[in-house]
Structure 1
């Protein structure tokens, strides 16, 4: 079932066992953040400024590299892009989207600025909406190797979200109120 996002301006089918992080702590107005109830996975839906200087085919890589900087994973060997592919617009409910790109990559990330580094597979989709000067980023963070020194080292080995859950979210996202873009 679709869940309202950004005060009902958007909606999407969020993966099962998702906890809305805004119920636990403050989240920026341009983000919706969900964590899996039993794993260290997270899904982030973020409205960011459209980067007109970035070619559509490079937009996912641009945002991934920006994310690597935010995650302090921008140093050599701390991130890698495995692939970028277009998402057929016919597969999306978000009809306002001019192009969509899906990136698969890995980053070596510290949680809460700890010394311990965790290897996290990142699936990032950028949905481009130039008419609203907005890129919508949808990111699935999936830790694959957790350092024994990380605060996440005690996370359960319960099966988490799948790529199908991520694709369901992408495909179900729809715009209900363009006023969200300001």
Structure 2
């Protein structure tokens, strides 16, 4: 993928600048119609873009926490040390290409996640951006999963920069938070009929 050219998403209804060394998971296996999933070629990092039902009962300032908790439930990252929110902050419209979200939020946190239902749990730093579009009955969630501590008993051992302590000479550099911000800032709606 050209790192400076917006990549079409959801059949061209959206677009965003996706970081280099990305693999579109839909080319390898079936994924839900409401998701776009990209994985890094050399690490266990992933980016997931989801079109979700707008949670009208959740106030804007609590919505990012709501989706983080929902993600923790899906990851079975429950319990005292399972999930931790580090920061939540609003994103101003001046920083976005996307038109007319009622609000936008950025959250950083950590979850203890077992890959493929293994017993071994890895520490994954999770950054998520939430765009709220009540006019389309939609919440758009963009999640950056960045494993930071890999259990020696995980199947991820050997495939992650977290385990190796950095990228090797032959491995592609792992994605950065700055690149994730580029996705958020460049994310745009091209065809509103996707919501109809």
Is 1:9 matched with 2:13? Answer: yes
Is 1:166 matched with 2:173? Answer: no
Is 1:178 matched with 2:182? Answer: no
Which whole-Å CA distance do the structure 2 matches of 1:149 and 1:74 have between them?
Answer: 20
Where does structure 2 lack aligned partners over 5 or more consecutive residues?
A: 162-166, 168-172
- TM-score, normalised relative to structure 1: 0.98
String of CA shifts for 1:68-94, please: whole Å, max 9, x gaps.
000000222100000100001111000
Which whole-Å CA distance do the structure 2 matches of 1:181 and 1:66 have between them?
Answer: 23
SS of the equivalent of 1:77 reads: coil
Name which structure has the greater RCO, CA cutoff 8 Å, separation 6+.
Answer: 1
SS of the equivalent of 2:77 reads: coil
Moved over 6 A (4+): none
String of CA shifts for 1:148-175, please: whole Å, max 9, x gaps.
1111011143231001100000000100
- TM-score, normalised relative to structure 2: 0.91
Which whole-Å CA distance do the structure 1 matches of 2:160 and 2:87 have between them?
Answer: 29
Q: CA deviation at 1:179?
A: 1.6
String of CA shifts for 1:15-37, please: whole Å, max 9, x gaps.
11110000111110000000011
Which whole-Å CA distance do the structure 1 matches of 2:58 and 2:117 have between them?
Answer: 30
Q: CA deviation at 1:53?
A: 0.7
Which whole-Å CA distance do the structure 2 matches of 1:181 and 1:107 have between them?
Answer: 31
Which whole-Å CA distance do the structure 1 matches of 2:103 and 2:57 have between them?
Answer: 15
String of CA shifts for 1:132-161, please: whole Å, max 9, x gaps.
000000000000000111110111432310
Which whole-Å CA distance do the structure 2 matches of 1:180 and 1:112 have between them?
Answer: 32
